Amino acid sequence: MDSRPIIAIECDGASYHSSNEAYLWDTFRQKQLENYGLKFFRIWSTNWWLNPKKELSKILAFISEIDSNDSESFGKVRINKNFQDLALIPIPVSKKEIKLNSIVRISNMKSNKEIKIKIVDDPQLKIKHEDIQPIYIKAPLAIALLCKSEGDNVQIELSGEIYRVTEILN
């Protein structure tokens, strides 16, 4: 069996870590993985989007350090420190955030069921129109979704359900 260390690289959004619960859970999970011998490296998504070459440099330096400290290594990792042969492909990032009157497609992470909702300011509006479910702005789901962007995950406070924002339609 290969005895080289296993590296876990995690990329998190800063908004995800705005809750103490998420931070504590990540810290616990990281410690558990490290207890099993994994080497852990965390990247903040905001840093990646601002300067991907700098973040990639940090990752490669981390891998190189782990590799050089591994006395039973089968071969050293060669790293091109100039990044001359690396091509970074820009990924379009949605700048849209969910707000009042946003129509959003979300997916339940457990059931994979996808629904379209609209954040509304009228608590009496309960009529579904063209497969769009109105959600009152003060409802737990709406509160969790406000100011989020495509690709973000949100956890509903009371139910614990986790949804992924798959698309902001307007």
> In Å, what is the CA distance from 103 to each residue of 93, 116, 153, 155?
18, 7, 16, 19
> Which residues, 6 or more positions from 46, have their beta carbon under 8 angstroms from its beta carbon?
13, 14
Work out the widest C-alpha separation in the chain, in whole angstroms: 67
pLDDT reported for residue 115: 93
Residue ranges of the chain with pLDDT lower than 50?
A: 1, 72-80
Q: Are 169 and 105 a contacting pair, CB within 8 Å? A: yes
Q: Regarding the domain delimited by 103-168, which CATH topology (the fold level of the hierarchy) does it fall under? A: Chitinase A; domain 3 (3.10.50)
Coil, strand or helix at 101: coil
| CA nearest neighbour of 122 among 132, 134, 133 | 134
- 0.75 exceeded by pTM: no
Distance of alpha carbon 109 from alpha carbon 85, whole angstroms:
37
Reported as type and span, the H/E element at residue 96 is: none
Domain limits, CATH 3.10.50.30, in the chain? 103-168
Instruction: For 16-33, write each residue's pLDDT tens digit.
Output: 555 667 777 778 888 888
